[in-house]
Amino acid sequence: MENNNEINVIKGFNHKTGVHCTSSALRNIFEFYGLKLSEEMIFGIGGGLGLGYLKFKNQNPMIGGRQNDFEKNLAKLMNTPLKIYRTKDKEEGWNHLRSYLENNKPMAINIDMAYLPYHKGDLPREDYHFGMHTVVVCGYNPKKNTVSLADTAYEEIQEITVEELSAGRNASYNRWLDPYNFIYEFDFNQKRPDLVEIIPQAIRNNGNSLQKSSKLMTFMGIYSGPKGLNKFAEDLGTWPKLSKNILLEQCKEISGYISHYGTGGGFFRFLYSRFLLECAELLEDNRLSDLSDNYDSLGKEWEDFSDHLEKFPLKGEEEEVLVLQKLLMNIIHLERENAKKLANYWHP
């Protein structure tokens, strides 16, 4: 390891900031192993766009614009087999991660961001917990008992104690989102694919996934695809009955999931738009430039909805609900139309 402002960093590791925690973390990992790609390309090859509405018991509702199987899709198309490590054993989880660090291998992990001291003040509220925040553990100092973290929004490598790391990796607030000492274990020893060959498939895959809904997941409070957004639009009709404090909190959080919390703005659509533009140049295909414009416009529609949502608690009237529902129904239509275009994309 090398010394970087007295923080140990594995030699050869290069951190770049990004907009989404997982795609930027995996960009860093892939570059370390010789696969230098943009965050946009990592996100797009993984078919990162998703649609989801989550209603977990005793929690504020959430919406998600990222595909759950993004990492698995990326690994499959990039021919970098992926194993997901999990354990509820705190000591075992640390020892497993430490073995990689002692062999100078940075690892992407999931952690509850509420336990990261440098995030204090950045969270939506004091009791906010999100256990699927992805960072790269890129250094270990046994003398200080600290680890070094590369986190997407921070240019500087961060340093926290092993105790803080372990607490965040073993946090227990929501069994669907808790980290369970999660580690992404990629195998980079296989033959590397030609991007021109796999990009069209990645685009089609994402288009198909955006149109799917799962009846099974609704039993658990997870509504996916355009039908999930329809459920969200329906539930908006009940929001004027909420107390002012709860309404303010929910509107702020939902707006954050669209515009701020690691989406790059526009519910991840701006990020995907830039992926399509990069692909248009690589494949020399103007159709992808048009699709890029479509997703940029869709991102702006999401931003408009987010802006109205933030202002909703100031009005809180049923008339404003109708405005929000109308905006959302237009977005649902655009999501469907653009997903079809992605699913039907072919490159000669």
As for how many domains the chain has, the answer is 2
CA–CA distance, 319 with 99 (Å, rounded to integer):
58
> Are 288 and 232 within one domain?
yes
What digits encode the pLDDT tens for the residues 159-181?
999 999 999 999 998 777 899 99
> Are 230 and 149 within one domain?
no
H helices of 237-317, where? 244-259, 269-283, 286-315
**How many other CB atoms sit within 10 Å of the CB of residue 318?**
11
What pTM, to 2 d.p., does this model score? 0.93
> Are 216 and 279 within one domain?
yes
CA–CA distance, 271 with 43 (Å, rounded to integer):
8
What digits encode the pLDDT tens for the residues 97-110?
999 999 999 999 99
Residue 64 lies in a domain: no
Q: Does residue 1 register a pLDDT over 80? A: no
> Can you give the CATH number for the domain in which 88 is found?
3.90.70
Last residue of a domain, one of 186, 221, 255: 186
**How many other CB atoms sit within 10 Å of the CB of residue 285?**
18
> Are 24 and 130 within one domain?
yes
What digits encode the pLDDT tens for the residues 47-95?
999 999 998 877 889 999 999 899 999 999 999 999 999 999 999 999 9
Mean pLDDT of 38-46: 98
Residue 287 lies in a domain: yes
Domain carrying residue 305: 199-343
Residue 194 lies in a domain: no
Q: How would you classify residue 267: left for phi > 0, otherwise alpha for psi between -120 and 50, otherwise beta?
A: left
> Are 210 and 180 within one domain?
no
Distance of CA 102 to the CA centre of its chain: 28
> Are 172 and 250 within one domain?
no
Which range has the worst mean pLDDT, 20-34, 59-73, 196-210, 281-295?
59-73
Residue 42 lies in a domain: no
Max distance between CA atoms of the chain, in angstroms, equals 62
H helices of 11-161, where? 21-32, 39-45, 70-77, 90-102
Last residue of a domain, one of 135, 155, 186: 186
> Are 225 and 173 within one domain?
no
> Are 232 and 160 within one domain?
no
> Are 145 and 220 within one domain?
no
- Helix (H/G/I), strand (E/B), else coil: 332: helix
Residue 54 lies in a domain: no
The beta strand positions in the chain, using DSSP E, are 2-4, 7-9, 49-54, 62-66, 82-85, 107-111, 133-141, 146-150, 158-161, 183-186, 222-224
Residue 157 lies in a domain: yes
> Are 250 and 289 within one domain?
yes
> Are 19 and 142 within one domain?
yes
Residue 57 lies in a domain: no
> Are 89 and 9 within one domain?
yes
Last residue of a domain, one of 163, 186, 209: 186
